[in-house]
Structures are given as structure tokens and as C-alpha cells.
Amino acid sequence: MSSKRIIIVGAGPAGLAAAGVLARLGASVTLIDKDPDMGGHLSKWHQLFPDRSSAQILLEQLVSEVPDEVSRIMGREVIGGNVRTNQVDLKLDEGTWITGDGLLLATGFDLFDAHRKEEYGYGIYDNVYTQAEVEQMFENGRIENRSGKIPQSIAFLHCVGSRDQKVGVSYCSKVCCVTGVKQAIEMREKLPDAIIYNFYMDLRMFGQGFEELYHDAQEKYNIRFIRGRISEAAENQQGKVIIKAEDTLTARPLKLTVDMLILLCGMQPSKHTANLADTFGFTTGPDGFLKPLGPSQNTFRTRHPHVMLAGACTGPATLTEAIQAGRSASLALYEQLFNIIN
């Protein structure tokens, strides 16, 4: 049994995966998260792409892999600290300090704030939603608009706060494409008679099973894909959403009235990640996410050998990638600490 004390900041998928590995290796692990519950965004999700498996079951599996002896400090935010040779001191918002031999940051992402795309009217028009809110609807088993009616027409809009220089986000968030396809299929299953649109500029179906899901959406689920971004949304007297777009394949402007507009928002560095980057002087990339030492090798490492990065704090990531990163970074950190001490 090692006496290495390792602090993991962030109890989302990457942090939980890392905590499980490190604890099984015998390290003394402290897991900190600003939220009172573990799981991060995963805890708010219903089904996962591409296999439609349960988010809650995955979360339970990840949590179950974290032994009881892992110390959990939930609902506390790291607000300061020092990284010294072979030691890390973190200050929590309650004023206490904790010390470790190593640090693994898994502080994740924030969903792009849809309010910033003012032209879509999120937070102003009654029936404009984000994909996170739709997951909650799926989880609750009720798809209805703000006035309690079952929608008959639904439009998903891809790339909200992704690849959009107007809001200072030039990078691709990579998971929104397949999320939109998956959610459209779920909608079709719940609402067999509804008209369901996906507005996209291109669909980046890079993962195993993603492209097949996209084809199923068209062929089996009658989802209408329109290549064109929505230029603006407005609300009519019935609370429906009127959208304007250009169908770039037919080169024609388009005006549609739908019961729900769902914005597929991208990922952005979490405020917590940005604060910690400032606190510890970590390098960030042009996208604002934490930048590891190397793009191919050393993808978990920082300039401090005993501080590692994992998951979506380094950039948009799928769940698979976040979990893999958590496990890999924890092994790298353990190896690093073992080599330093011995």
C-alpha cells in the first residue's frame, strides 16, 4: 500500500474513472467537486450515443468503481493553491487547505451559454431549449412545451456556440452532431407523428456507430436533415417558434414554424477550469481549454510532473474519451509519483 496522497479535482466521468484506478492501485485519493453530487454532466443525461445505453447505469458503474476509502469533498470549490516540487496545496472555498503529493485535474466543461446567441431567443422565447433540457425531458418521460402541450414539430439546430467566430468559438465541440441525431431519434420514438428537423452545416460522425445512427435517423426514423444554419428565431402569438434559415442544398431561403427549437450547444472551458488555470498558471490553448504538454505524447502532462490533466478540461471530448483519459492520466500520475519517490 502506497502512502501517496493524490487529489482529484472534478468528480465527472474522467475524475471518477481516475479515482477508481488510483484507489485500486493503493493511492490515498481525495476527490473534490464543486457540485454536491458526483457525475458532472453525466448525472443530468438520459441516454448515451450511439448505443442508447442508460447514462445513469454508466454513472452508477463509475461510482461503484470508486472504493469507500476514497475521501470525497463534495460541494466545495478549489479557489486557490500552490504547486510546489513534489507537493500540491489547494485552498477550498470554505477556507481550509488540503495537501497532496500529486494532482489530477478533471474539471470538465460548461455547456455553451445559449443566451449568447441572442438571435435564437433562448431565455426569451418560451419554446427554445438546449439539448441538456431535452435530456431532462427524456429522463422525466414527458415531452411537452412550456404550456404543457405535446409538440408536433421540432427543430434541432447544430453548432450553437461551435465553429462560430461571431461568439469567439472557432473550434468544433464534436459531440453535438451525434447528440442531435440521437435526440431526434428519441423524439421520433416518443412522438411518432411529429415533424422533426435537424439543421446542420455538416455532420461530423467520427465515432464507431455514429454514421450508422445518422443513416438510421434518415431511413428508419424519418428525421428531416436540412443543410443550413438558422439565422434567427422569433415567436408568434401562439408561442410557436418561427425560424428562418437557408437550405443550402436547394439554395433557397426557408421559413418554418415549429413547436420547439432545440439548440445543440457546444462545450466551452468551465469557469472552474479557467479559474484554476489562472491560479496555477497553467497554459491554455486558443480555445481556452487547458493545454497539455504535447498534442500526441504527454497529452495528460503539465509542466509540473506531478500534475496531470484529464477529460474535457483539455477540450471537447466524448464520454469514452473522458473515461479513457481519466484512467490513462491516473496511471501516468501514479507512475510519475512512484518514480519520484523511489
Partner 1 sequence: MIIEGKRHIWKEYQKEIADDHYFYARSCVRQNFFPASEFTFLKILKEELGKDVYDDPRHTTCTGIAYHADVVQLPTIMTVVARQFALMTEHGFKNFVPSCITSFGIYTEILETWEHFPDTLAQTREFLYKATKREFELPENLAHSSDVIYKFREDIWQRRRFKLINKQTGNPLRGVEHIGCHYAKMFPHKGVGGAEYPYVLAGLIESWGGEVIDYPERRHCCGFGFRQYLVQANRGYSMACSQRKFESMEPYHPDFIVTNCPGCPFFLDRWQYVISEMEGKTYGDNGHGIPVLTFEELAGLILGYDPWDLGLHIHQVAVEPLLDKMGIPYDLSKKYNNLAGKSLGEPKKPNTLKVYGYEQ
Residues interacting with partner 1, by CB under 8 A?
A: 115, 118-119, 121-126, 232, 234-237, 242
Q: How far is the CB of 240 from partner 1 (least distance, A)?
A: 9
Q: How far is the CB of 115 from partner 1 (least distance, A)?
A: 7
Kindly give, in sequence order, each residue whose CB lies less than 8 Å from that of residue 328, ignoring residues fewer than 6 positions away.
300, 310
Angle at 144 between CA 181 and CA 43, to 5 degrees: 60
Q: How far is the CB of 232 from partner 1 (least distance, A)?
A: 6
Q: Specify the residue, 58 or 242, whose C-beta has the smaller distance to partner 1.
A: 242
Q: Specify the residue, 195 or 242, whose C-beta has the smaller distance to partner 1.
A: 242
The DSSP call for residue 264 is E
Q: How far is the CB of 246 from partner 1 (least distance, A)?
A: 16
Q: Specify the residue, 163 or 244, whose C-beta has the smaller distance to partner 1.
A: 244
Q: How far is the CB of 81 from partner 1 (least distance, A)?
A: 33
Q: Specify the residue, 124 or 150, whose C-beta has the smaller distance to partner 1.
A: 124
Q: Specify the residue, 21 or 155, whose C-beta has the smaller distance to partner 1.
A: 155
Would you say 257 and 244 are in contact if contact means Cβ atoms under 8 Å apart?
A: no
241: left (phi over 0), alpha (psi -120 to 50) or beta: beta
Kindly give, in sequence order, each residue whose CB lies less than 8 Å from that of residue 194, ignoring residues fewer than 6 positions away.
151, 152, 153, 154, 187, 188
Would you say 42 and 58 are in contact if contact means Cβ atoms under 8 Å apart?
A: yes
Q: Specify the residue, 9 or 241, whose C-beta has the smaller distance to partner 1.
A: 241
Q: How far is the CB of 200 from partner 1 (least distance, A)?
A: 23
State the Cα–Cα distance between residues 289 and 105, nearest whole angstrom: 12
Q: Specify the residue, 236 or 320, whose C-beta has the smaller distance to partner 1.
A: 236
What nine digits make up the cell of 17?
Answer: 474513472
Kindly give, in sequence order, each residue whose CB lies less than 8 Å from that of residue 208, ignoring residues fewer than 6 positions away.
50
Q: How far is the CB of 35 from partner 1 (least distance, A)?
A: 24
Say which residue the cell 489547494 belongs to.
90
- Which residues make beta-bridge pairs with 104? 8, 308
What nine digits make up the cell of 299?
Answer: 497529452
Would you say 75 and 34 are in contact if contact means Cβ atoms under 8 Å apart?
A: yes
